[in-house]
Amino acid sequence: MGNGTTDRQAGQVDKNRLPRHIAIIMDGNGRWATRRGLPRTAGHKAGAETFRRIATYCKNLGVQYLTVYAFSTENWKRSETEVNAIMMLLKRYLLEAIDTMEKDSIRLRFFGDMTPISPDLQALAHRTDEITDRLDSRDFQANICLNYGGRDEILRAVRRFAADCAAGKRRPEELDEASFSGYLDSAGIPDPELIVRPSGELRLSNFLLWQCAYSEFYYTDTLWPDFDEAELDRAIAAYQRRDRRFGGVK
């Protein structure tokens, strides 16, 4: 823990200084299952439950945005069984969300290139998008990264900007950081102040490459299916102890 921080202080959250946006790499599902002698897909099922629980906790705490990495542009390399199981869990979640989002005031968006996603899952995402459009922009919003890669997101944004230039709607010299952000999947959403990676890996794995410029990172050995509210409290408390200078001096 270090810096003389006691166990109790380690999880003490100041509700007046919450991050507005938390992003999580939901890692460790496969290891969690293998350690229990279960198929990897059982780890993803448990991971989807953890997502529901942590999203509810973020909403109740007052964190406005939660972005989770559900499926990367590289995850297609996994077995067909595993890919299908993840897509099925997403479908199940969206079907549930369609019935509950409005009542619970939960907005839902997808980040990523949806073109190779199955038409039925795309149709469900379209329906959750429509419900989100009707909800208040101050409501809690979960962003699910699906067929997402940070590099791919930047490339798609560049293509859209280039197309606008070719159509005479924009000029290259106008482009600055704020206007470029408007071409990303995360347009209109503040950058995550805190990025969490469970399962002991110390990598970013192509997650939110543009948005992470000044994010604080929190790593834990806990595997995603075991990640709970207390663990998120520890991550937020650690973030609140950081000295954020954004390249300046205090």
Residue with tokens 């199981």: 85
Instruction: Report the alpha-carbon distance of residue 245 to residue 134 in Å, rounded.
Output: 37
Strands of the 216-219 sheet, one edge to the other: 106-111, 140-148, 65-72, 21-25, 194-197, 216-219
Cβ 184 to ligand FPP, closest distance in Å? 20
Site track 87-126 with ligand FPP (rule: CB under 6 A), x = hit: --xx--x---------------------------------
Structure tokens at 60: 């109740």
Measured at CB, which residue is nearest to ligand FPP?
A: 30
Q: Of 3, 16, 27, 221, which residue is the catalytic one?
A: 27
* Residue placing its CB nearer to ligand FPP in the complex, 99 or 174: 99
Q: Are 95 and 128 in contact (CB under 8 A)?
A: no
Residue of 20, 31, 160, 170 that binds ligand FPP (CB under 6 A): 31
Q: Which stretch binds ligand FPP (CB under 6 A): 23-31, 131-139, 182-190, 214-222?
A: 23-31
Q: Which stretch binds ligand FPP (CB under 6 A): 1-9, 25-33, 169-177, 210-218?
A: 25-33
Residue of 30, 149, 150, 192 that binds ligand FPP (CB under 6 A): 30
Residue of 29, 73, 215, 220 that binds ligand FPP (CB under 6 A): 29
Q: Are 87 and 121 in contact (CB under 8 A)?
A: yes
Q: Which stretch binds ligand FPP (CB under 6 A): 29-37, 117-125, 181-189, 231-239?
A: 29-37
User: Does the annotation mark 185 as catalytic?
Assistant: no
Residue of 19, 22, 24, 27 that binds ligand FPP (CB under 6 A): 27
Instruction: Report the alpha-carbon distance of residue 147 to residue 160 in Å, rounded.
Output: 18
* Sign of the alpha-carbon dihedral angle for 215, 217, 218, 222: positive
Q: How far is CA 241 from CA 27, 49, 54, 218, 222, in A?
A: 24, 29, 22, 12, 21
Q: Are 199 and 177 in contact (CB under 8 A)?
A: no
User: Does the annotation mark 75 as catalytic?
Assistant: yes
Contact status: 149 vs ligand FPP (CB under 6 A): no
**What is the DSSP pairing of strand 21-25 with strand 140-148?**
unpaired
Cβ 86 to ligand FPP, closest distance in Å? 5
Q: Which residues are catalytic?
A: 27, 75
Q: Where along the sequence are the contacts to ligand FPP (CB under 6 A)?
A: 26-31, 44, 47-48, 51, 68, 70, 75, 86, 89-90, 93, 144, 199
